[in-house]
Amino acid sequence: MSSGSFISTLVVAALVLFACTHIWQNVYILNLSTEVGTLKKEKNQIKDLIKKNQAEINDLCRHSRIEQLALDKFKLQQTASENMFTLVSKRKFSKNYQFADLISSFQKVADHFPVITESKAEGKEIFDFDEE
């Protein structure tokens, strides 16, 4: 009879082990699904934050806002298109002479700037454009 009770005990132990394993798996799956839900919620919050930041960036980059800031803070005004120019370099800059090339480019641009007289600079009339 001892072998029959041993087999019965072994079967009961196997069933208990299977039940415990099944319960552990269900608890583990519930924990994982809760974590996945939390991560999805966090992902949606991050997506919303990205959308809000993108909307804020778009608002800050509006042309009309930048023009208004330029006018209010720096007293800049729009100029006619004939007063604008674009620098285009058709030559390749060498690595050894980049600074010299940069200085040379600035000198070429400076040649086109208006000359300020010493009396106008001393009188602090450098930025008074209405008098000219």
Quick: pLDDT tens for 63-87: 888 888 888 888 888 888 777 777 7
- Taking phi over 0 as left and psi of -120 to 50 as alpha, with beta for the rest, 124 belongs to left
Instruction: State pLDDT tens for residues 7-63.
Output: 899 999 999 999 999 999 999 999 999 999 999 999 999 999 999 999 999 999 898
Which pLDDT value is given to residue 130?
47
What would the two tokens of residue 31 be? Answer: 């924990």
Which pLDDT value is given to residue 29?
96
